[in-house]
Structure 1
Amino acid sequence: MPQMRLFRGHILNPIAEDRYTLHVDGGIVVDGSGTMLEVGEYHEVKQQYPSATVVDYSDRLILPGFIDTHIHLPQYGMIALHGKELLEWLKTYIFPAERAFTPEVADTLCPLFFRSLLSHGVTTAAIYCSVQKDSTHVAFEWAEKTGIRAIIGKVMMDQNAPDVLLENTSESLQASEDVCRTWHGAANGRLLYAFTPRFAPTCSRALMRAVSDLAGQYGAYIQTHLAEHPAELQWVRELFPETQSYTDVYFRAGLLGPKTMLAHAIYVSSDERRLLTETGTCVSHCPTSNLFLKSGLMPLRELMDIGLRIGLGSDVGGGPTLSPFEIMRSAIYVHTARRFLPDFRGGDISPATALYMATLGGAKALGLDDTIGSLDRGKEADFIIVNPQRLSPFSTATGTELSSETLLSRMIFQGDDRIVERTYVRGDLCYDRRSCGKNEREI
């Protein structure tokens, strides 16, 4: 078993939507299993655990790892292709890319994808694969190897999809169940499964109802899309005329609930918002994607104010970047833009709120906040090491001399993957920008 370690640094830790703590000289004690035994002021923690090996990041900032609640692995190669809106974009770029996501292609793309996520400070991701069962197995294998925490699902489509991706309903269900049975809870719970009906237009009523049953049987997640684009909404109305709304399609199929993550939710009525709240369903806000595909401006503040659990998602390849910093600032910018709309209601989205959604809020949306999302005793040690010197305009400044408000604001509005130096999951060093190895600065 690895020895007990004491990580020393400036610890910035979200504790609520609008609150966080900062230990200017803090310490995190991590045991051999990757669990945090204590978090607090360095000298106090050092007295409690005098034999712990010190890993010295005293001139660096320690943050909880970021959580990406919505991303498409096979689309990584199609990132940043501008010019089309959702349905045409799927037809032109995405379905061909997912058709090409063979196990051989997955074996090449997956290590690049997971290492890139880790390099951006993402320690947990909820991931869509393609309809190919074997390729989804490869994705899980690489997630296990790279050390990232992941919720992964094989996409399911049994109607209104290209012939090369169209599945037989029973075969789709069986393949998804097989992958779930193999991987859900693997790596001592670090890897989890999400049944993944793509979205209502490509899924039959029978498929969606069966997904509800399977997810309940295995205690697995459900992930799909909701109300992303006006053309999509019209298509859903035509396909499901008996329902009251897009959200009602999922409600009637039994898909809504605390372990369901719905991406986008830009166009949801008051009745739909009530339905989401009453069922405890969670939402992934994908501001960079919503802007890039010209889909719309999600009413983030209004949805948060009614009690919905909301995390942030990159939605790569609809979103043009994996960077949580870009996604956090885009969430703020989108909310700022909505303030100019005549029907705007709600308060502010601050840097503290954006950080919360990218960390503890994302963990709550996934129902994992007892394990990850913040740096607290008893949780697993998922954290990143950030160089704050890059956030100061003065080359002689250390960055840690800044006030917590200035540091947080500059980190969100100026930060990118270059400030992320190291990424830990369960106390294991999974990414090191400087050495690309697993050696720690131990003293």
Structure 2
Amino acid sequence: MTSARKAYRASIIHSIGDPAEVGVEASYEYFEDGLLVVTDGRVESVGDAGVLLANLPAGTEVTEYPDALLMPGFVDTHIHYPQTGMIASYGEQLLDWLNNYTFPAENAFSDPAHAAEVAEVFLTELLRNGTTTALVFGTVHKGSVDAFFSAAEQRNLRMIAGKVLMDRNAPEYLTDTAESGYRDSRELIERWHGKGRLHYAVTPRFAPTSTDEQLAAAGQLLQEYEGLYMHTHLSENRDEVEWVKSLFPQCSGYLDVYDHYNLLSERSVFAHGIHLCDDECKRLSETGSAIAFCPTSNLFLGSGLFNLPKMEQHKVRVGLGTDVGAGTSFSILQTLNEAYKVMQLQGAKLSPFKSLYLATLGGARALRLEDRIGSFASGNEADFVVLDYNATPLMQYRMAQAKTLDERLFVLMMLGDDRTVRETFAAGESVHRRD
């Protein structure tokens, strides 16, 4: 059998470690004139083009991208696909925003045709922005998850999603029960988890919208099936935190609610985590759980500033989340733009190499997928993106002034958006090409 081998030539960069742990210089590999060799949808090798080209079998197809930077596909560790149509809805803080915008928008997903339409729009936007893996909220409706996974399977994408569990403190038209939520989730797990490149996430919306019985059922699901994720929200808003205390007086804090129901594990991902104490950070680290840093939505809803250095201190795994639709962009580049500002407001810095890590390998590690995606390690799945240094007239002019690699990366982070993404690949196949 002949291997399907292709090669891609451009400047190439990928993270190989967290700068906070190994130092900046040891955190990445960069090839000014690089070559990525892909065989049967997986990375065969990456390195200097002059060296690798000399050893390529005759007839290997080589695609060249001048004035471009090739890197692993972006990883989004928290996003809501049903909120695609309500992105950029004006004003409110978290709890009012849910009632006024989110819940009415999600009600439409009782219609399978609507869910299928939005899933197509959503995945198209992700790929236009260079995102090849995402951890995704559905709605309370089973059909929302079926629609999402069907669309993702057709594109052979590595995606994680789940049906929302919500049996109280929400409109009646959006609530399930502890029993029906458990039953529906089981059906979806049996149908989709581990199929192709798909994974299932048990998805209680957040503690206030689930009863003790439902949270217990969610914990039961995690015990019954191997490799499931748990995806929810945590300590996003101060009013929310106080609400949780009143609803669960038997627990010592917000995180303790999830801990009490066995929802903390190495595949648990909590969005936001803005208002966490040191003991909660320590517990996240002990259990291997991860936090999704969602700067655009945190700023948009006025929730607060995420303390990345605190997470680094406690060795908590952190990924980056756009959190569409409270988040204001599908673009990981624009999300990094906002993340830099969040750090600045706290008197800290976010280096371009840490940004690269958060957007790729850091996200993969948060999802426990670093053995498959997030870097160009040999054998990894060939999910990658080609970024155009000259995507806009301003970017082209600014890049002409850039003298170092970190300066070029920073310009991409500050000025880049969907126009910067020249092409996106999933498992070695082109899934988006800019016109």
TM-score by length of 1: 0.92
Partner of 1:86: 94
Q: Once the 2 structures are TM-superposed, how far is the Cα of residue 204 of structure 1 from its aligned partner?
A: 1.4
Q: Which moved more, 1:109-118 or 1:1-10?
A: 1-10
Counterpart of 1:211?
A: 218
Q: For 1:62-94, what per-residue CA distance to the aligned partner results, in whole angstroms no more than 9, with x for missing partners?
A: 011100000001111010112100000000000
Q: CA deviation at 1:100?
A: 0.9
Residue correspondence of structure 1 range 192-231 to structure 2 within 5 A: 192-218=199-225, 219-231=227-239
The AA in structure 2 aligned to 1:113 is F
Q: State the AA in 1 paired with 2:172.
A: D
Give the superposed CA RMSD: 1.8
In the TM superposition, residue 348 of structure 1 has moved relative to its aligned partner by 3.1
Secondary structure in 2 matching 1:255: coil
Question: Does 2:48 match 1:38?
Answer: no
Q: Structure 2: how far apart are the matches of 1:30 and 1:10? A: 16
- Give the aligned partner of residue 48 of structure 1: 55
Distance 1:364 1:308 in 2: 11
Q: Hey, what does 1:441 align to over in structure 2?
A: none
Paired position in structure 1 for 2:406: 405
- For 1:129, which of 138, 155, 161 is the aligned residue? 138
Q: 2:261 aligns with which of 239, 253, 268?
A: 253
Mapping of residues 134-173 of structure 1, within 5 Å: 134-173=143-182
SS at match of 1:296: coil
Amino acid at match of 1:3: A
Q: Per-residue displacement from partner, 1:10-50 (whole Å, max 9, x unpaired)?
A: 10111222332210111111112x11111111121122222
Q: Distance in 1 between matches of 2:96 and 2:35?
A: 50
**Quick one: percent identity of the two aligned structures?**
39
Indicate the residue corresponding to 1:76 in structure 2.
84
Bigger drift between 148-157 and 116-125 goes to: 148-157
Q: Distance in 2 between matches of 1:176 and 1:44?
A: 50
* Distance in structure 1 (CA, Å) of the matches to 2:401 and 2:386: 13
CA contact 2:177–2:214 (8 Å) conserved in 1: no
2:324 to 316, 324, 327: 316
Residue 111 (structure 1) aligned to one of 117, 120, 123: 120
- 5 Å-filtered alignment, 1:373-392, equals 373-390=374-391
Report the AA paired with residue 311 of structure 2.
L
- For residues 395 and 58 of structure 1, the distance between their equivalents in structure 2, rounded to whole angstroms, comes to 13
**Cα distance between partner residues in 2 of 1:111 and 1:91:** 26
- Correspondence for 2:341 among 333, 337, 342: 333
The one-letter amino acid paired with 2:386 is: I
Task: Tell me, yes or no, if the aligned pair for 1:363 and 1:369 is still in contact at 8 Å.
Answer: yes
Q: 1:392 to 1:409 in 2, by over 3 A?
A: farther
1:7-26 maps to which residues of 2 (within 5 A)?
7-18=8-19, 19-26=27-34
Does the C-alpha gap of structure 1 residues 43 and 50 become closer, same or farther in structure 2, counting only changes over 3 Å? Answer: farther
- Whether 1:241 aligns to 2:242 is no
Q: Deviations over 1:227-278 (max 9, x none)?
A: 0001101110110001100000011110011000000000011111111111
> Which amino acid in 2 is paired with 1:386?
L
Contact 1:15 1:374 in 2 (8 A): yes
Q: Residues 394, 322 of structure 1: CA spacing in aligned structure 2 closer, same or farther, 3 A cutoff?
A: closer
Q: CA deviation at 1:158?
A: 1.2
> Which residue is equivalent to 1:344?
none
1-structure distance, mates of 2:306, 2:379? 35
Pairwise CA distance, 1:392: 7.6
Q: 1:30 and 1:392 mapped to 2: Cα distance?
A: 32
Relative to 1, partners in 2 of residues 1:399 and 1:196: Cα closer, same or farther, differing over 3 Å?
farther
Is there any run of 5+ residues in structure 1 with no aligned partner, and where?
A: 340-346, 435-443
Give the equivalent residue in structure 1 for 2:75.
Answer: 67
Structure 1 residues 407 and 398, CA gap change in structure 2 (3 angstroms): closer
Are 2:69 and 2:388, in contact at CA under 8 Å, matched by a contact in 1? Answer: yes
Residue 100 of structure 1 is matched in structure 2 by 108
CA–CA separation in structure 2 for the residues paired with 1:433 and 1:238: 50
Contact in 2 for aligned 1:67/1:362 (Cα 8 Å): yes
When residues 419 and 243 of structure 1 are mapped into structure 2, their CA distance, relative to the original with a 3 A threshold, is: same
Aligned length: 424
Rounded Cα–Cα distance in structure 1 between residues aligned with 2:321 and 2:332: 8
Determine which of 185, 189, 192 is the counterpart of 1:176: 185
The residue that corresponds to 1:363 in the other structure is 364
What is the letter of the counterpart of residue 383 of structure 1?
Answer: F
Cα contact 1:65–1:423 (8 A) shared by 2: yes
Match for 2:312 among 304, 319, 326?
A: 304
CA contact (8 A) 2:399 2:408 kept: no
Q: Are the counterparts in 1 of residues 76 and 322 from structure 2 also a CA contact under 8 Å?
A: yes
Structure-2-length-normalised TM-score: 0.94
- In the alignment, the residues of structure 2 paired with residue 254 and residue 407 of structure 1 have an alpha-carbon distance, to the nearest angstrom, of 44
SS in 1 for 2:215: helix
Asked if structure 2 preserves the Cα contact closer than 8 Å seen for 1:65 and 1:123, the reply is: yes
The amino acid of 2:388's aligned partner reads N
The verdict on how the C-alpha distance between 1:302 and 1:394 changes in structure 2, with shifts beyond 3 A counting, is closer
Distance (whole Å) between structure 2 residues aligned to residue 402 and residue 215 of structure 1: 50
Say whether the 8 Å CA contact 1:37–1:378 is kept in structure 2: yes
Which residue in the other structure is 2:23 paired with?
A: none
Aligned partner of 2:186: which letter?
Answer: E
SS at 1:16's partner residue? Answer: coil
Name the CA shift for 1:50/1:392 in 2 (closer, same or farther; >3 Å): farther
Give the AA of the match of 2:118.
L
Where 2:16 maps in the other structure, the secondary structure is strand
Partner secondary structure for residue 100 of structure 1:
helix
